[in-house]
């Protein structure tokens, strides 16, 4: 990586992905969660749901509402969320702590039902449809893709199974967040820590 710009340093002197240095919340998420493997269906359902909520919003907005979203969606347990109906939707639309988008709330409920129909389970389904060649480590933010052929295929496969709010960009963000791809910058201290 001779001549490549270095990832910026955080307040502790460690080099991190540029996006992680915006706030302490983002840095904590980057350092402790983003890019680590997700193996359970419930954890994968949460990540896909959060990425769906992000559409049109900043990740920081979603991150700061995450605990309230977890509470509202029963810890993102697909079995529980699949049983939600109109009363739960209306309750959530009235809760100022949440992202109050009827379309997104109803999509998460529908996605829970679709997840329960996957014989192999959601985590395995996402991982098997997201395989692709390992890309070179990004040197800068400009080197990080917004979507890839693999994320496009994953989004198509999820939609074919009844999922909503899972376009190629959302699918790729979920792949990054769950360690399917490693998009930490080349000299970020977390690069290669997918486990």
Q: Which residues are annotated as a binding site for Zn(2+)?
A: 17, 30, 184, 188
Could you give the CA distance from residue 45 to residue 59 in angstroms, rounded to a whole number? Answer: 17
Mean pLDDT in the chain?
93
pLDDT < 50 stretches in the chain: 1-2
Q: Structure pTM?
A: 0.92
pLDDT of residue 8: 80
Domain range summary for the chain, segments of one domain joined by +: 18-32+39-177
pLDDT tens, position by position, 93-129: 999 999 999 999 999 999 999 999 999 999 999 999 8
Confirm if 117 and 162 have CB atoms less than 8 A apart.
Answer: yes
Query: Could you say which of 19, 33, 46, 59 is catalytic?
Result: 59
Query: Could you say which of 19, 33, 46, 51 is catalytic?
Result: 51
Domain 18-32+39-177 belongs in CATH node 1.10.340.30: yes
pLDDT of residue 3: 55
Q: Which residues are annotated as a binding site?
A: 17, 30, 184, 188
pLDDT of residue 2: 47
pLDDT of residue 195: 52
């Amino acid at each position: 990586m001779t001549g490549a710009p270095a990832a910026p340093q955080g307040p502790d002197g460690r080099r991190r992905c540029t996006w992680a240095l915006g706030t302490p919340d983002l840095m904590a998420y980057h350092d402790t969660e983003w890019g680590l493997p997700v193996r359970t269906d419930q954890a994968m359902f949460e990540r896909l749901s959060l990425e769906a909520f992000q559409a049109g919003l900043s990740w920081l907005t979603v991150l700061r509402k995450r605990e309230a979203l977890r509470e509202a969606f029963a810890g993102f347990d697909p079995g529980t969320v699949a049983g939600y109906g109109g009363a739960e939707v209306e309750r959530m639309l009235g809760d100022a702590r949440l992202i109050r988008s009827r379309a997104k709330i109803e999509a998460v409920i529908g996605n829970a039902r679709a997840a329960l129909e996957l014989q192999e389970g959601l985590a395995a389904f996402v991982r098997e449809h997201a395989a692709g060649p390992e890309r070179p480590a990004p040197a800068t933010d400009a080197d990080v893709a917004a979507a890839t052929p693999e994320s496009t295929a994953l989004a198509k496969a999820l939609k074919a199974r009844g999922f909503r709010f899972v376009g190629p960009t959302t699918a790729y963000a979920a792949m990054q967040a769950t360690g399917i791809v490693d998009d930490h910058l080349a000299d970020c201290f977390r690069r290669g820590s997918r486990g």
